[in-house]
Amino acid sequence: MSPPPGPATPVPAAPPAWVGTMPAFFVLLWSTGFVSPKYGLPYADPLTFVGLRFAIVCVLFTLLAVATRAPWPKTRAEWLHGAVVAVFFHAAYLSGVFVALEEGVSTGVTALIVGVQPVLTAAIASRFLGERARPRQWLGFGLGFTGVALVVANKITLGQGSIVGYALAGVALAGVTFGTLYQKRYLSGMDLRTGAAVQYLFGALVMAMIAPLVEGMRIDWTPEFIAAIAYICGIVSFVGVSVFFFMLRIGQAIRVVSLFYLIPPVTAVLGYFLFGETMGAVAIAGMALAVIGVWLVNRG
C-alpha cells in the first residue's frame, strides 16, 4: 500500500498588482526630481536647498513613524548604518550633482558621469552582494548607457566647468553607487519609515556643517520656491525615495538600478512639454535603446 500523501507544498502568493506598477511610478517621480529644482534653485544656494530638503523630509518621515508607531533602530550599529547611507546616497549624490551644475559642468556631461552608476553597481554587486550579472544583462547595461548618451547628446559641452565641478560629479556617482549597495546589504531589515527619518536627519546635519563653509545660505521665500520645495520634499523625496528603497528591498540591486537609464529619457520628455526643449531623432533613438537595455537587464 502506498503511503498517504504528505501535505501539499504551499504555492507562493503572487505579489499584489500594485507592486508591478512601482518601477514606472518610480521612474516618473525620480525624473520630475530633475525638472522641479529648476523652479527652486534660482531662489536658494544649492547646498542650502539640499539641506532644507533633507530637514523637511526628516520631519515628514518622523511624523509618519510616530503616527504609525513604527519601530526605531535599537542598536548603535543600525544608527551608524543609517548615517553611512545618508552621507553617500543622499548628501554626496545630490550635493555633488547640484554643485557640479553650479560650477558650469553641462547637464549632458553630468548625466553621463552619473549614468555610469548601473554599470558600476553591477560590477561591484558580485563581491558586495553576491549578485552576478548575466551576459544579456551586461548587454542591457551597455545599450542603456548608449541610450542615455544619445538622449543627452545635444546637451554635452566639453571643456566647460571647473575641475571641482567634474570632481563633484564623480563624487555624486560614487555616492549613489555605494549608498545603494550599502542600503541593500545592511538596511534591508530596517523599517522604511524610521530608517528614512534617520537617514534624512544625518543628511541634514551634514549639509548644515558644509553649507556655511562654501556659500552664503541664501533663500528667497518666493511662491515659486515654496511650491518647488514642497513638491520635491513631499513627492520626490518622501514618496519617490520610499518606492526606491522598497524595490531595492524586494528585488536585485542590479535590476533596480537599471531603471536609472530610463530617467534621462523621461526627463527629456518632461523638458519638451514643460520648457519647450528640443527632442530630435537621435534622442528618440536613445530612448528606444534605453528601454531595450532595461528590458534585457530585467528579463526573466
For residue 118, what is its C-alpha cell?
548601473
pTM: 0.83
pLDDT at 9 over 60: no
**Per-residue pLDDT tens digits for 138-162:** 999 999 999 998 988 877 766 677 8
**pLDDT value at residue 224:** 93
Q: What is the dihedral of CA 156, 115, 260, 252, to 10 degrees?
A: 170
pLDDT (tens digit, 9 = 90+) per residue, 58-76?
999 999 999 999 999 999 9
Q: Which three cell numbers stand for residue 31?
A: 525624473
Lowest-confidence region among 47-51, 64-68, 186-190? 186-190
Alpha-carbon separation of residue 67 from 1, 6, 53, 201, 296 (angstroms): 60, 45, 21, 18, 41
282/106 Cα distance (integer angstroms): 19
- The H-or-E segment that residue 276 falls in is none
For residue 273, give the amino acid letter.
F
Spatial distance between the Cα atoms of 52 and 225, rounded to a whole number of angstroms: 12
